[in-house]
Homo-oligomer: A and B are copies of this chain.
């Protein structure tokens, strides 16, 4: 695989392709086409072929794609053919919900540390983890080598937490707080924003 400079918009579509292909795999489907994939995802077949062709030759003309092969390749491209430890910051309701989220299991993501600055929460158990004091976060995260963080603190605290995570060596942040974070180049942020999802649906409501 050649490491070209792939546009981020292409990268953004790959997890959706992988997710859909994994569902096919679970359903026992062995081959698929860009047309079928496109219909399921709501993207044109041409776009899918173009996106995948950025990474190599994955299908045979007229034969379609092997689902297993494509799943393997996409996992490799997205670096998810390994496991990732995650630090979660914010042990309120949302932090609890995410720490208990059942969806990470099969995808190689694992929350291994939880921090909060609230003395009432520090020391609490969430599943197997104990909420640790945010004052120790930079040192502990840096020592752990963890690269992925999640922020579930209130909006007004989120930027300061992001700054600390960056200081601790975190390179990817999933932000649930309703605020746009500023981070240095080379650090990646994704903002989980329910408004974006809701507006996408209200378009269709009379």
Contacts and interface: CB of A to CB of B under 8 A. Distances in A.
A128 interface: no
A103 B195 CA distance: 8
A148 B80 contact: no
A100 interface: yes
Contact of A196 (B19, B47, B79): B19
A203 B77 contact: yes
Contacts of A127: none
Contacts of A174: 194, 197-198, 201
> Range of interface residues on chain A?
35 or more
Contacts of A73: none
Interface string A30-61: 00000000000011100100000000000000
A144 interface: no
A16 B190 CA distance: 13
A72 interface: no
Interface string A3-19: 00001110110111011
Closest 6 CB pairs of A and B: A103-B178, A94-B97, A172-B201, A15-B199, A93-B97, A190-B197
